[in-house]
Amino acid sequence: MIRKCLFPAAGYGTRFLPATKSMPKEMLPVVDKPLIQYGVEEAMEAGMNNIGIVTGRGKRALADHFDVSYELEHQISGTSKEGLLKDIRRILNECTFSYTRQREMKGLGHAILTGETLIGREPFGVVLADDLCVGTGSGVLAQMARIYEKYRCCVVAIEEVPHEEVHKYGVIAGSELEDGVFLVSKMVEKPDPEEAPSNLAIIGRYILTPDIFDVIRNTPPGRNGEIQITDALQTQATKNMVLAYRFKGQRFDCGSVEGFVAATNFFFERWKDAHA
Ligand code: G1P
């Protein structure tokens, strides 16, 4: 059973300026919930109730969100508004939260390595909160946890993307072991379209084994001069098994305006149904 989930959340969110100038991008609300809360709920559904967040400067709102606000609780206690806090109260009752700061922005691999102190020596999930996922049947992390239980190795979530968009993602090549589960032979971070080994793109959900930390420590900077988790996993794939899992469901790239608006429309429909 995987208990821990890491949320790298130190990035600047420059694609969403000026909205993210003084507010963490992970706090952008989709309808009535900040992005990070969707991610934490997905982790909880997968049984990962021990939440580690890699934060940075200007990210205090994240820690405040996952804490009690006494003034607010007092103010709305006994009113009809109390129901609005039901989900976040459940999260606070059932999860623990730990934080560490990434002082320099040296890439996703470096962010994950910064989280080592929160994870220790056990397998863990990773959620990039700006990829908002809606699983079919169960959440994407829960689907991936089942793959991990079966194969006991690193698992990355993938989806097919149009060929002209592969340069935005980590891209894998592999052979299909069972429906939707690929044994990875190659991974490339943000390849030029002509170098891309496929159009199977990694999305922001990972299950990693703790040996990844040593691999990251020995991974030189790659694409954009950053330490890439994709490069570390490529090394891992040559030594051990790395699996890629084509998840069942839908993903919104909430780091882009188009994806964010699509997610908002999707969750607004759900909100309307719930409030009908
Ligand atoms: C990161 C990863 C990339 C992955 C993507 C998914 O890139 O480096 O491999 O495909 O997340 O969202 P970023 O979007 O942070 O540049």
pLDDT value, residue 80: 86
CB 102 within 8 A of CB 110: yes
pLDDT value, residue 275: 84
pLDDT value, residue 166: 96
Mean pLDDT in order along the chain per 10 residues (276 residues): 96 89 94 97 98 94 93 88 87 97 95 98 97 97 98 97 95 96 96 94 98 97 96 94 97 95 97 88
DSSP 8-state assignment for residue 52: E
pLDDT value, residue 262: 98
Question: Does the beta carbon of 169 lie inside 6 Å of ligand 1?
Answer: yes
pLDDT value, residue 12: 86
Ligand 1, atom 9: nearest CA belongs to which residue? 170
pLDDT value, residue 244: 98
pLDDT value, residue 73: 85
Longest alpha-carbon distance in the chain: 61
Provide the 3-class DSSP secondary structure of residue 218: coil
Question: Does the beta carbon of 254 lie inside 6 Å of ligand 1?
Answer: no
List C-alpha distances in Å: 14 to 29, 75, 84, 133, 251.
17, 35, 30, 21, 21
Paired residues of 4 in beta bridges: 50, 124
pLDDT value, residue 215: 97
Atom of ligand 1 nearest to the CA of 228: 8
Ligand 1, atom 11: nearest CA belongs to which residue? 204
* Residue 200 CA from chain centroid, whole number: 17
pLDDT value, residue 48: 98
Strands (E), 209-247: 242-246
Atom of ligand 1 nearest to the CA of 230: 9
Ligand 1, atom 10: nearest CA belongs to which residue? 169
Burial classification of residue 192, based on how many CB atoms lie within 10 Å of its CB (0-12 exposed, 13-18 middle, 19 or more buried): exposed
Residues with Cβ within 8 Å of residue 163, at least 6 apart in sequence: 193, 196, 199
Question: Does the beta carbon of 127 lie inside 6 Å of ligand 1?
Answer: no
Question: Does the beta carbon of 170 lie inside 6 Å of ligand 1?
Answer: yes
* Residue 107 CA from chain centroid, whole number: 14
Would you list the domain boundaries of the chain? 4-274
* Residue of 95, 84, 34, 31 whose CA lies nearest to 59: 34
CATH number of 4-274: 3.90.550.10
Question: Does the beta carbon of 202 lie inside 6 Å of ligand 1?
Answer: yes
Hey, which of 105, 106, 128, 228 would you mutate to test ligand 1's pocket, going by the most ligand atoms within 8 Å of its Cβ? 128
Average pLDDT, the chain: 95
CB 247 within 8 A of CB 143: yes
Hey, which of 165, 168, 184, 242 would you mutate to test ligand 1's pocket, going by the most ligand atoms within 8 Å of its Cβ? 168
Question: Does the beta carbon of 145 lie inside 6 Å of ligand 1?
Answer: no
Hey, which of 12, 14, 102, 169 would you mutate to test ligand 1's pocket, going by the most ligand atoms within 8 Å of its Cβ? 169
* Residue 230 CA from chain centroid, whole number: 14
Place of tokens 């990829």: 131
Hey, which of 14, 188, 202, 208 would you mutate to test ligand 1's pocket, going by the most ligand atoms within 8 Å of its Cβ? 202
pLDDT value, residue 65: 95
Q: Is the dihedral of CA 125, 127, 131, 134 positive or negative?
A: positive
pLDDT value, residue 122: 97
Strands (E), the chain: 4-8, 29-30, 33-34, 50-55, 96-101, 124-127, 131-135, 154-160, 170-178, 181-189, 200-208, 242-246, 249-253
In the structure, how many helices (H) and strands (E) does the chain have? 10, 13
CB 70 within 8 A of CB 20: no
Question: Does the beta carbon of 252 lie inside 6 Å of ligand 1?
Answer: no
CA distance linking residue 90 with residue 177, whole number of Å? 38
Q: pLDDT tens-digit profile of 19-78?
A: 999 999 999 999 999 999 999 999 999 999 999 999 998 899 999 999 988 898 888 888
Atom of ligand 1 nearest to the CA of 253: 12
